[in-house]
Amino acid sequence: DIDDEVRHMTAMVEDLLLLARSDSGAIALDRLPVDLGDVAADGASALAKPASDRGVTVEVDPQPAVVTGDPARLRQLVMILVDNAIRHSPSGQSVNVAVRTGAQIEVAVHDHGPGFPDDFRDHAFEPFTRADPARNTRTGHSGLGLAIARALVEAHGGRIWLAAGAGGDVRFSIPRKEPA
């Protein structure tokens, strides 16, 4: 129990440090050409075990999408969104991750859970905000995930939003890599 609590507290401190760096504009990124479709598939597949434990499947539909970004931070971003989706999906359902190219590269993470309450939408990306505070307090989640996701997206020059519709649907877009 002590080891679990130390891991949880260490992760929370690291998350808070990342947010503090974000507020000061000091998130260090390795800017490399990277295929966001591959990164999304890798990040989502890393959560196969927790998804399976909850009776949820994760389906990824990536298009090749080259961006200039930090592969580790982009993977972290996808994992935050997929983890949230897994936690809010009913057993027997799926979490869908799609990567699409266009003027920007867009990633959509959709679950078949209850969706986002209207009063949550305006504050979803603020630190310590939770759609269901009672549920997340019991499970040890701090309400930092979407705030960190926003910081990572913005550090890559993009934007993140909650899409309208049934279920939970979080999307982000970042600029595509310009040909050299």
pTM of the entire predicted model? 0.81
Q: Exposed e or buried b for every residue in 116-126, given b needs 16+ CB within 10 A?
A: beeeeeeebbe
Q: Give the Cα-Cα-Cα angle 4, 138, 115 (nearest 5 degrees).
A: 120
User: What mean pLDDT is reported for the chain?
Assistant: 82
- For 91-145, write each residue's pLDDT tens digit: 999 999 999 998 899 999 999 888 777 777 677 777 766 665 554 444 455 677 8
Please state, in angstroms and rounded to a whole number, the distance separating the CA atoms of residues 45 and 50.
10
Separation between Cα atoms, residue 38 and residue 46, nearest integer Å? 12
Tens of pLDDT, residues 5-36: 777 666 666 666 666 655 656 677 788 999 99
Cα dihedral sign for 78, 56, 135, 13? negative
pLDDT at 139: 47
